[in-house]
Structures are given as structure tokens and as C-alpha cells.
Amino acid sequence: MKKYILLYLGLFYLGQTATAQNIWSLKECIAYGRANSFEASEIKILNASYKEDRKSIRASYLPQYNLFANGAFTANNNAVAWNPNAGLEVNALLYSGFRKKHELQKADLIIAQSQYNIAIAENNVEMQVLYAYTEALTKKGQYQVCIDFYEKTRQLYDECSASKLLSPADGYFFEVLLQQDCQEIESLEQQYAIALLKIRQTINLYDAPDFEIAEIPSFTPAHTTLDVAYPLALLADPGISSNQLDIDVARESSRIAKTLLLPTVSLRYTPYYELHKSGLQHYAGLQISLPVFNRTVQKTAIEKATIQGLFQEKQLDNQKEMLWNAVVLIISELKNRQSLYEISLTTLKKSTRLLNDGEEKLKNKNTYPEAYLVVRNWNKQCALDSVALKYQTITQAKLLDFYTGTTL
């Protein structure tokens, strides 16, 4: 069993050295994930489509030019005549209640909104990376805790065995204990490998077999009070900005619908040639169209646009409320985790002193292995909990920075 564990530890430290050139920081993982987000790339394609829609609307401001050629047979006094003609037809919309203007403004708003939607998709990746990264660091830290406890217990076992302080039953007890440590180490190694894989999948990184992550340096969130953090969160959240544009889009849709109640004025000009007439002929006309009755289509369109605007305003209020609750919760969780982490460190120090005393008593035959096991398991659990609370605190601190627009 000793050989197995030593080989196990050797592979771990060898792996650490081999991957020294492939260590990714949290910032690098986030940057790569944002740049390679599938959802963001899809929205970018839609954004290109929206820009083409805007070009189409802008082009509708221009007159339409159409070439035509036609002819007709006419019969008169038993004579049949062929009258062909050809020319150019020009149509120009002069007035439509500023419908084109509002359509263009709506198109601009949709393009701007798609940019915010790209930011939303990238922010989603950033948050997923943060959770996956700190989870991986937790498993890595707990893995190292179990390695340390195994090494310390094995050393104690070797010393006691060499001094013939252990009975056969006590020796078997230690062997079982070390075997349990070995299984826990193997389990945590697998969990850490899975956590690393989850990070790679989140950022869409596939060609990195020696992927490794770096420790997150100690830091203090830039803003920890609600009265400062919430206004910053409102400014930093692209979802709020996108929802505000939803309201503006609904308003433009309502204005567009109202233009359907107004008259439209268009100009038609046609220069053309006829076979039996000399010279270029001209036709010019002004067309005025005034809607009288179209089965309440315009009224329905206006009402729907108004309702959509009210819905978006309510949704914006709800989104702001959700953001407020999120910031309040993060600040509360941060304070709670910081407090629990400090308590865990104090408990860890006390349990470590008791464990050291228990080891000395065991060496001097002043205690039983069972009593040592109780203190050891308590100390080990305190160490594992401290690691978990450390990264839970870091996660909440990073989340607060994320929500307030501070670069992670």
C-alpha cells in the first residue's frame, strides 16, 4: 500500500510540474469563454441580419425605377393595329406620416439591443466560469488537505511501528485508516479532473490536454455597501439596458402603427415612347391615399404596440427588483461566508493543537488509536471545511465585483 500511495503522490506532483506551462488564470478563462461563446456568436449573426434590415429600410427612402415595354392590338373599321410602347417608370413616396423615419429608428434600436444581448450571453459565460473555477480550486485544495493528512498519518504509523508501540490490532487499524485516505484522495482527484473538464467545456476549449488553473489572489471587493453597489449594478447590467430598449422599440412600433391612419402621398413620373407618336411622351401624377376602413387593422396594431410597451415597462420594474434582491443576497452571503471562514480557521487551529497532542500521547502510549482517530477526523473535517468556505467567500466577493461592473 505504501508503494501505491507514493506512486500516486509522485504522479500528482509530476503532473503539477508538467502542466506549469499550461496554467490558466481566472481572467484568461473568462476572456477565452467570452470570445468563444456559442450563444454570443449566434446573436452576432442575428445582429448582421438586423443591419441588413436597416439597409433595406434606408433604401426604401429612394425612388423606384422600373423599365417597361408593352403593346396592344386594336381593331377599327376592319383594320388591326399594333401599338407598342416602352419607357421608364419612376415612383417616389413623398409623405407617409414619417413612417419610414420611425421604422429606421426602430431598426437602430433593435441593432443596439442586439449588442446588449451579446453582452448578456458573454456575462452568462463569465458567471458560469467563475462558479466552475472556484469549484475546481475547492477540489484542488481539499485534495491537498487529504494528501497532507495521509503523509502525516503514514509518518506517525511508521514511527510507532518502528518503536513497536502498536499491537497487531492497532497496526491493522492504521492500515485501514490509510487505505480510506487513499480512496478519498483518488475520489478528489477525479472530482478535480471533472471540475477542470467543466471549465474547458464552459469556455469551449478543447485542444488543451494539460489544462491547469491558477490560484485566485486575495482581494477585497471594490464595493461592499448596498447604497453604492446597487446603482452601479443598474448601470453595469446589460439586461436592464436591453429591457429599456424593448420599451423604446414598443414606442416606435406604436408610432409606426399610428402612421397607418394618416394619408400617403406619392409621385409617379413616366417618360415613354409610342410607335405611332413622334418624340418622347411624358406622364406625371400625384397619388393621395387616405385610409377610410380596413377592418380595424390599424387600431388593433396600435393597441397591441401600446400593450407591449406596458408589458416591457412592467418587466423592467421586475428586473430591477430582481437585481436589487440579487445584490442584497450577495452582500449578505459575502458577510456570512467571511464570518464562517474566520470561525473555521479558529476551530482549525484549536483542533490542530489537539491533534498534535494526541499524536504525542499515542507515541507515549497515553491514549488509544480510537481516541486519536476522533481528533484526527475532526481536524481533517475542519481543514476541508476551511477550504470550502475560503472559495465560497471568494465566489461571493467575485460575484459582487461582477454585478457592479468590476473586471474579474
Question: What domains does the chain contain, in order, with CATH numbers?
Answer: 2-78+98-262+296-403 (1.20.1600.10)
Question: Cα(311)–Cα(320) distance, rounded to whole angstroms?
Answer: 14
What residues contact residue 242 under an 8 Å CB cut-off, 6+ apart?
Answer: 113, 116, 117, 120
Among 182-196, 278-292, 316-330, 353-367, which is the least confidently predicted range? Answer: 278-292
Classify strands 264-274 and 212-213 as parallel, antiparallel or unpaired.
Answer: unpaired
SS3 breakdown of the chain: % helix, strand, coil, rounded to 5? Answer: 70, 15, 15
Report, as an integer, the average pLDDT of 4-21: 47
Question: Cα(150)–Cα(275) distance, rounded to whole angstroms?
Answer: 106
Pair 225, 335: CB distance under 8 Å: no
Report, as an integer, the average pLDDT of 69-96: 72
Question: Cα(232)–Cα(155) distance, rounded to whole angstroms?
Answer: 54
C-alpha cell at 341: 471562514
Confidence check: pLDDT of 35 > 80: yes
| In the block, residue with C-alpha cell 490490532 | 169
Pair 70, 250: CB distance under 8 Å: no
Confidence check: pLDDT of 229 > 70: yes
pTM assigned to the model: 0.82
Pair 396, 330: CB distance under 8 Å: yes
C-alpha dihedral sign at 319, 321, 324, 330? negative
HSE, CB side, 13 Å, CA atoms: give it for residue 355: 21
Which contiguous run of DSSP H or E holds residue 286? strand 281-289
pLDDT value at residue 358: 87
Residue of 302 and 234 predicted with greater confidence? 234
- Could you tell me the pLDDT band of residue 73, with boundaries at 50, 70 and 90? low
Report, as an integer, the average pLDDT of 349-378: 87
In Å, how far are 83, 108, 305, 322 from 245, measured between CA atoms?
Answer: 57, 10, 14, 18
Classify strands 212-213 and 23-24 as parallel, antiparallel or unpaired.
Answer: parallel
pLDDT value at residue 143: 97
Region of residue 365 (phi > 0: left; psi between -120 and 50: alpha; otherwise: beta): left
Report, as an integer, the average pLDDT of 236-245: 94
pLDDT value at residue 79: 61
C-alpha dihedral sign at 93, 97, 103, 109? positive
Among 307-311, 338-342, 359-363, which is the least confidently predicted range? Answer: 359-363
HSE, CB side, 13 Å, CA atoms: give it for residue 105: 16
Residue 145 exposed, middle or buried by CB count within 10 Å (0-12, 13-18, 19+): buried
In Å, how far are 67, 92, 108 from 61, measured between CA atoms?
Answer: 19, 8, 16
Strands (E), 77-158: 79-95
Residue 25 exposed, middle or buried by CB count within 10 Å (0-12, 13-18, 19+): middle
Confidence check: pLDDT of 72 > 50: yes
